[in-house]
Amino acid sequence: MILSERISRMEESLTLAITQKARELKAAGRETISFSAGEPDFDAPQAVKEAAIAAINGGFNKYTAVSGIDELKEAIANKLKRDNGLNYSPKNIVISSGAKHSLFQLFAVLINRGDEVIIPAPAWVSYPEMTRYHGGKAILVPTKAQNGFKMTPSELKAALTDKTKIVVLGSPSNPTGSVYSREEIAALGEVLKGSKALVISDEIYEKLIYGDKFVSAAAVSDDLFARTITVNGLSKSAAMTGWRLGYFASVSGEIVKAVTTLQSQSTTNACSIVQKAAIAALDGRSDDDIERMRQKFEKRRDLALAALGKIDGLKPIVPQGAFYIFVSHEAIEKDSMRFCLRLLENAGVATVPGVGFAQEGYFRMSFATDDASIEKGIAKIASFVREYRS
């Protein structure tokens, strides 16, 4: 066998596979509407672009410190204090090429063979895949729709063992849009007290929130602050997916050092120009743009929910954050892959099957697209469902 045992444990991202299939149909001349995208359709903030141009013109194009430039680390530390009430210092921060990169490296330095990683399901596809790649055991904890697809303290307690290395919390969640409240995080924190488990809090959708204020897991108690690694980035909040900038913060000097070592031997620093530009996304200059995008997303969410709500046989979960609606199609079809493939082939609408998030009977629809596409696409879903049922 040519390939390593490691890579054979990992599957290609289903999200990307469906986007590719939709692209192929489009290239073949078929009208398709894509609700599968995992990225904002907005442009990056103007201040970010200007900062990038200034960095280019200023010749800021050499290697930087592996874990990132001090100026950006300071901007991140200030942001974490201002927005999240977290007291991290710049030395607690490592900057990487996207939050996915931060997560991958964290899993790499933390997981030993057989270590367990608790992942509430439905879950973002990459958490279990990264866990398995690094030899860990993904413990998917099924959550319930009636609990807003949030893990309860008793579900966490039942999954926790002395092999638990990491508990992953993604709030707002991809794919369900659920958001954990301070009380809910505190109750999970109580379960973890006395255990050695670390928490990885993936806060990438933090700015896209439609209900109560967002709460960082590390901000809830001293115990959680000590055991939580806070992961974030600019892809979703500042519509900067292609720029590739993510980071984590942890009070553990050991973890910071280990990830820095790994990054020094693999990708080195995040792009120097992007690091300069990122400061403009975090220091307040882009706040109006970021808030404008959030408001647009909220309107689109309401538009999509109103239209989906009229379709007999579908049951959307109302998202409190992110830009996805997780929709139950259980009443008409149990198999999400079959449902989504037929929807794509017959109606030309691309969504992502719930099975890719470890949840059958649902599809994920992204509303990171314009109003006209949302209306047209949901109308197509409606007639597809009518035919499916008849």
Ligand X SMILES: Cc1ncc(COP(=O)(O)O)c(C=O)c1O
Partners of 315 in the β-ladder: 328
Cα distances (Å, whole numbers) of residue 259 to 102, 110, 232: 8, 9, 15
Indicate whether 35 belongs to the interface with ligand X (CB under 6 A).
no
Which of residues 107 and 124 has its CB atom nearest to ligand X in the complex?
124
Q: In which residue are the tokens 């307690």 written? A: 157
CA–CA distance from 110 to each of 41, 131, 185, 255, 268 (Å)? 34, 10, 23, 8, 19
Q: What are the structure tokens assigned to 101, written together?
A: 């990169």
* Nearby residues of 172 by Cβ (< 8 Å), 6 or more positions away: 178, 179, 205, 206, 208, 209, 214, 319, 320, 321, 322
**Quick one: which segment of 70-78, 94-102, 183-191, 370-378 binds ligand X (CB under 6 A)?**
94-102
Please state the closest distance from residue 100 (CB atom) to ligand X, in A. 3
User: Do 200 and 169 form a contact (C-beta atoms < 8 A)?
Assistant: yes
Residues 140-179 that bind ligand X (CB under 6 A): 170, 174
Distance, CA of 292 to CA of 209 (rounded, Å): 12
CB of 387 to ligand X, least distance (A): 32
DSSP structural state of residue 91: G
How many Å apart are CA 85 and CA 32, to the nearest integer? 43
- Using CB atoms, what's the residue nearest to ligand X? 98
Q: Is 319 in the site for ligand X (CB under 6 A)?
A: no
Of 84 and 221, the one with the shorter C-beta distance to ligand X is 84
Nearer to ligand X, 178 or 235 (CB): 235
If binding is defined by CB under 6 A, does position 214 make contact with ligand X?
no
Look-up: residue for tokens 């990122």?
278
Q: State in angstroms the smallest separation of the CB of 281 from ligand X.
A: 12
Shortest reach from residue 104's CB to ligand X, in Å: 9
Binding segment for ligand X among 97-105, 108-116, 183-191, 356-364 (CB under 6 A)? 97-105
Residue 99 or 311 with smaller CB distance to ligand X: 99
Alpha-carbon dihedral 82, 83, 86, 92, rounded to 10 degrees: -90
Cβ count within 10 A of residue 288 = 11
Residue 169, helix vs strand vs coil: strand
* Rounded distance between C-alpha atoms, residue 190 and residue 76, angstroms: 28
Min dist. Cβ of residue 307 to ligand X (A): 24
Is the Cβ of residue 174 or residue 221 nearer to ligand X in the bound state? 174
Q: Which is nearer to ligand X, 85 or 242 (CB)?
A: 242
> Quick one: which of 83, 129, 202, 206 contacts ligand X (CB under 6 A)?
202
Among the listed ranges 186-194, 233-241, 256-264, 371-379, the one in contact with ligand X (CB under 6 A) is 233-241
Q: Which class for 27: exposed (0-12), middle (13-18), buried (19 or more C-beta within 10 A)?
A: exposed
Q: Least distance in Å: CB of 126 to ligand X?
A: 7
Total chain residues near ligand X (CB under 6 A): 13
Q: Which is nearer to ligand X, 99 or 167 (CB)?
A: 99
- Which lies closer to ligand X via its Cβ, residue 149 or residue 384? 149
Whats the size of the chain, residue-wise?
Answer: 390
Residue 104 or 384 having the CB closest to ligand X: 104
The residue within the footprint of ligand X, chosen from 33, 35, 38, 131 (CB under 6 A), is 38
> Which of 33, 80, 99, 179 contacts ligand X by CB under 6 A?
99
Enumerate residues 281-310 that contact ligand X by CB under 6 A.
none
Distance CA(289)–CA(296), nearest Å, equals 11
x/- mask, ligand X, residues 106-135, rule CB under 6 A, reads ------------------x-----------
Please spell the DSSP secondary structure of 197-214, one letter per residue: -EEEEE-TTTT-BSSSPP
Contacts (CB under 6 A) with ligand X, residues 241-260: 241, 246
Q: Whose Cβ is closer to ligand X: residue 241's or residue 261's?
A: 241
User: Which residues would be at the binding site for ligand X (CB under 6 A)?
Assistant: 38, 98-100, 124, 170, 174, 202, 204, 233, 235, 241, 246
